[in-house]
Amino acid sequence: MTKKVFKYLSFWLVIFLFSGVLSSLLRFTLKQWLLMIGVMSLATFGVVWVANFWESRQKQELKAMENRMVSTVAGGVPRGVLAEPDSPYYDLIRQFNEMQNFVQQAQQTAQRDVTNYRSLLASLPVGVININRAHTIDVFNETAAALLGIQRPETPISEGLVIRQFTLSELITQTFNSQKNQQSILNLQINGEMKQYEVSTLYHQGDLKHAEVMIIIYDLTSVLQVERMQSDFLANASHELKTPLTAITGFIETLQGQAGEDRTTREMFLDIVAQEAKRLSSLVNDILSLSRVQQKREAVHTELAIHDMVTEQWQHVMPLATTKSVTLRNDVADDFMIRGLKTDVDMILQNLIGNAVKYNVFGGDIHVTAYKDHQHWQLNVKDTGIGIPTNQQTRIFERFYRGDESRQRKIASGTGLGLAIVNEIVNKHNGEIKVQSQVAVGTTVSVTLPL
């Protein structure tokens, strides 16, 4: 402000002196001199005012550009400045506006990329963690949190606060030290449960200062479990098949020797051979049934009359039922119809009714009922047999599992695959199977399937 006053005063002093010299040369009266000073002052101040006005307008345009730039740098939306065609900065402002436009588009693209990257990370079925040289985590996706059994932490966060498994942090350190990618299958204790993870570490760096390690974690637990189940199944199946085969070959060899000449021994041994051959054939049939159920091939659903299907299966077990004097009460209504796969429902009935006869007591009963609501139908097979001890009830669906009673006392022959097949069928249809049993009272097996 003082600068401005001083500027105006110096202008006025020049006018005063100049008009003084001019009026003494032209011999002006005091009145004429004063008039001249007035006119000259007015004209000069007018010109200065216009020049100032012009300058401040240009300054405003520069100031506006500066403000927009500061806001853009601070993360605001990049915006342009109004360009007046008569402004000396017209071209500069237009260039500035184009640059702001470009920055805005670049910002939008970057924002989109970040959103895509975040949702990709969040939906990845593998855990992803990125750690820098200072052992600070800057990427940690949802799957990694779930696999390590923790809440997803806010990043950046120190590695030590999140990765508590010794073998995992050792693998990370090893990757930093060796500067080489590593791969390992780790057994980790996660919230009290043992898990098997395949962990790959990727060493990546621009220069030495910025070395980073990306960790990819893949849950192998269920894959290894399936592999184990398959190899267990193979081992069990081979063992189960070998037992009757060994017996058959052994007895045939004996029969081929002197023992075969005795009629009683021959008949006894041939009986055993026939029994073992029957067992072998049941095993092969059950293994084939299990593999057919697992194939999940699409098949045609038809209208099934459950009452008639129960009666049909009963005919198949009639010989054993008659020997044991076991009776059937088929309480499924005649008109109880469902749509389903005939082979699967037959297989369920065959195994449940078969077991109800096999594990029943002499003179026992079997009661079959069925119900449905608008979403499911349920089949119940109840018997008055030997029952299943509580500690065995969870194991009876395992392949080749036979209850202690059935094995040791040889109550009934079987392969240990019947309930495993039923369970497989029920799972295939997203159904449910339940067992209620009491030793020496009886067992009820209930199968619920969606309609």
Confirm or reject binding of residue 289 to ligand ADP (CB under 6 A). no
Q: Binding residue for ligand ADP (CB under 6 A) from 197, 251, 336, 359?
A: 359
Confirm or reject binding of residue 351 to ligand ADP (CB under 6 A). yes
Confirm or reject binding of residue 175 to ligand ADP (CB under 6 A). no
Q: Binding residue for ligand ADP (CB under 6 A) from 61, 406, 426, 449?
A: 406
103 or 361, CB closer to ligand ADP?
361
CB atoms within 10 A of CB 408: 9
CB atoms within 10 A of CB 229: 12
Name the nearest CA neighbour of 429 among 370, 347, 354, 368: 347
Q: What CA–CA distance (Å, rounded) separates 415 from 399?
A: 9
Q: What CA–CA distance (Å, rounded) separates 8 from 1?
A: 11
Stretch that binds ligand ADP, among 130-138, 291-299, 300-308, 379-387 (CB under 6 A): 379-387
Q: Binding residue for ligand ADP (CB under 6 A) from 416, 426, 433, 447?
A: 416
Confirm or reject binding of residue 276 to ligand ADP (CB under 6 A). no
What's the gap between Cα 4 and its chain centre?
73
DSSP 8-state assignment for residue 124: -
Q: Binding residue for ligand ADP (CB under 6 A) from 418, 424, 425, 449?
A: 418
Smallest distance from ligand ADP to CB 387, Å: 6
Smallest distance from ligand ADP to CB 248, Å: 20
Confirm or reject binding of residue 424 to ligand ADP (CB under 6 A). no
Confirm or reject binding of residue 293 to ligand ADP (CB under 6 A). no
Confirm or reject binding of residue 423 to ligand ADP (CB under 6 A). no
Radius of gyration of the chain (CA): 46
Sheet with 193-204, strands from edge to edge, namely 157-158, 136-140, 127-132, 212-219, 193-204, 182-190
CB atoms within 10 A of CB 129: 26
Confirm or reject binding of residue 385 to ligand ADP (CB under 6 A). yes
Q: Binding residue for ligand ADP (CB under 6 A) from 97, 369, 443, 448?
A: 443
Name the nearest CA neighbour of 358 among 309, 436, 305, 416: 416
Smallest distance from ligand ADP to CB 344, Å: 16
Confirm or reject binding of residue 419 to ligand ADP (CB under 6 A). yes
Q: What CA–CA distance (Å, rounded) separates 104 from 70?
A: 14
Smallest distance from ligand ADP to CB 255, Å: 28
- Residue 141: exposed, middle, or buried by beta-carbon count in 10 A (0-12, 13-18, 19+)? buried
DSSP 8-state assignment for residue 361: P
Q: Binding residue for ligand ADP (CB under 6 A) from 130, 330, 415, 448?
A: 415
78 or 414, CB closer to ligand ADP?
414
# of chain residues touching ligand ADP (CB under 6 A): 23
Smallest distance from ligand ADP to CB 328, Å: 14
Smallest distance from ligand ADP to CB 282, Å: 8
345 or 386, CB closer to ligand ADP?
386
Residue 375, C-beta contacts closer than 8 angstroms, at least 6 positions apart? 450, 451
244 or 418, CB closer to ligand ADP?
418
Confirm or reject binding of residue 127 to ligand ADP (CB under 6 A). no
Confirm or reject binding of residue 383 to ligand ADP (CB under 6 A). yes
φ and ψ of 100, to 5 deg: -60, -40
Q: Which helix (H) or strand (E) holds 201?
A: strand 193-204
Q: Which two tokens stand for residue 390?
A: 């509580």
Q: Which helix (H) or strand (E) holds 436?
A: strand 432-438
Stretch that binds ligand ADP, among 16-24, 179-187, 304-312, 352-360 (CB under 6 A): 352-360
Q: What CA–CA distance (Å, rounded) separates 162 from 151?
A: 10
Confirm or reject binding of residue 369 to ligand ADP (CB under 6 A). no
Confirm or reject binding of residue 402 to ligand ADP (CB under 6 A). yes
Stretch that binds ligand ADP, among 213-221, 225-233, 287-295, 384-392 (CB under 6 A): 384-392
Q: Which two tokens stand for residue 220?
A: 């192998």
Confirm or reject binding of residue 396 to ligand ADP (CB under 6 A). yes
Smallest distance from ligand ADP to CB 426, Å: 13
Count Cβ neighbours within 10 Å for each residue of 327-355 and write b for 16 or more, e otherwise: ebebebeeebebebbeebbebbbbbbbbb
Smallest distance from ligand ADP to CB 352, Å: 8
Confirm or reject binding of residue 348 to ligand ADP (CB under 6 A). no
CB atoms within 10 A of CB 273: 19
Confirm or reject binding of residue 414 to ligand ADP (CB under 6 A). yes
> Which residues are at the interface with ligand ADP (CB under 6 A)?
351, 355-356, 359, 383, 385-388, 396, 401-403, 405-406, 414-420, 443
